Chain A
Amino acid sequence: MATLIKERRIVADTWRLLSRGPKGELPEAPAQGDAIVPLALWIERRDAFLSYPSRLGVWLDANEGPDPIAADLQRLALVAVNFPKFGDGRGYSIARLLRERHGYKGELRAIGDVLHDHLHFMKQCGFDSFLLREDQDAQEALSALDTFSEGYQTSVLRPVPLFRRRLAAAK
Chain B
Amino acid sequence: MYHYDEIDQKLVDERVSQFRDQTRRYLAGKLSEDEFRALRLRNGLYIQRYAPMLRIAIPYGLLSTRQLRKLAHIARKYDRGYGHFSTRQNLQLNWPKLPQVPDILAELATVEMHAIQTSGNSFRNITTDHFAGVARDEIVDSFVWCEIIRQWSTFHPEFSYLPRKFKFAVNGAKSDRAAVAVHDIGLHAVRDEKGEVGFRVLVGGGLGRTPMIGFVIREFLPWQHILTYFEAILRVYNRYGRRDNIHKARIKILVKERGPEKFREEVDAEWAHLKDGPATLIPEEIARIENRFTRPNYLGLPATDAALEATLVADRAFANWHKRNVHPHKKAGYAAVTLSLKQTGVPPGDVTVEQMEKIADLADRYSFGELRVSHEQNLIFTDVQLSDLHSLWQEVKALGFATPNVGLLTNIICCPGGDFCSLANAKSIPVAEAIQQRFDDLDYLHDIGEIDVNISGCMNACGHHHVGHIGILGVDKNGEEWYQIQVGGNQGEVRPGVGASLGKVIGPSFARAEIPDVIEKLIDCYLERRDSDAERFVDVVHRVGVEPFKESVYGNVDQRAAHRRGHLASA
Contact = CB atoms under 8 A, between A and B. Distances in A.
Nearest to B30: A137
B284 interface: yes
B159 A92 contact: yes
A168 B125 CA distance: 29
Contacts of A117: 18, 22, 35, 39
Contacts of A150: 7, 10-11
B295 interface: no
Nearest to A161: B279
A72 B335 CA distance: 65
Interface in A102-121: 115-118, 120-121
B560 interface: no
Given A150-B10, A164-B278, A167-B285, A155 B158 contact: yes
A87 B121 contact: yes
A125 B157 contact: yes
Nearest to B237: A93
Interface string B1-31: 0000001001100110010001001000010
B50 interface: no
Given A115-B35, A150-B10, A153-B279, A90 B157 contact: no
A65 interface: yes
B8 to A, nearest CB: 9
Given A93-B238, A152-B152, A163 B282 contact: yes
Contacts of A11: none
Contacts of B495: none
A151 B278 contact: no
A101 B273 contact: yes
Interface string A58-89: 00000001000000000000000000001111
A143 to B, nearest CB: 8
A161 B14 contact: no
Interface string B143-181: 000000001101111111111000000000000000000
A89 B161 contact: yes
Contacts, number: 101
A151 B157 contact: yes
Contact of A124 (B157, B162, B235, B239): B157
A168 to B, nearest CB: 11
Contacts of B209: none
Nearest to B150: A152
Contact of B158 (A86, A93, A137, A167): A93
B14 A149 contact: yes
Nearest to A162: B7
A166 B292 CA distance: 14
A154 interface: yes
B147 to A, nearest CB: 11
Contact of A89 (B14, B30, B160): B160
Interface in B386-439: none
A151 B160 CA distance: 13
Contacts of A89: 121, 158-163, 238
Interface residues on B, range: 35 or more
Interface in A135-150: 137, 140, 147-150
A153 B278 contact: no
B278 to A, nearest CB: 5
Contacts of B18: 117, 147-148
A152 B154 contact: yes
Interface string B261-285: 0000000000001000111011011
B288 interface: yes
Given A92-B238, A150-B7, A164 B282 contact: yes
A64 B61 CA distance: 40
B38 interface: yes
A87 B278 CA distance: 29
Contacts of B158: 89, 92-93, 96, 121, 125, 153, 155
A86 B160 contact: no
B410 to A, nearest CB: 41
B256 interface: no
Given A93-B239, A101-B273, A150-B7, A161 B38 contact: no
Nearest to B6: A150
B243 interface: yes
Contacts of A65: 239
B157 to A, nearest CB: 4
Between B235, B239, B285, the greatest number of chain A beta carbons within 10 A of the residue's beta carbon is seen for B239
B35 A167 contact: no
B155 A86 contact: no
B287 to A, nearest CB: 10
Between A120, A162, A163, A166, the greatest number of chain B beta carbons within 10 A of the residue's beta carbon is seen for A163
Contacts of B154: 152
A43 interface: no
A148 B7 contact: no
Given A65-B239, A93-B235, A159 B278 contact: yes
Interface in B223-281: 227, 235, 238-239, 243, 273, 277-279, 281
6 contacts: A86-B38, A89-B238, A152-B152, A152-B154, A154-B278, A163-B281
Q: Which 9 A-B pairs have the closest CB atoms?
A: A89-B161, A124-B157, A163-B285, A121-B157, A152-B151, A92-B158, A155-B157, A154-B279, A93-B238
Given A88-B161, A152-B154, A152-B155, 4 more contacts: A148-B14, A153-B156, A154-B277, A155-B157
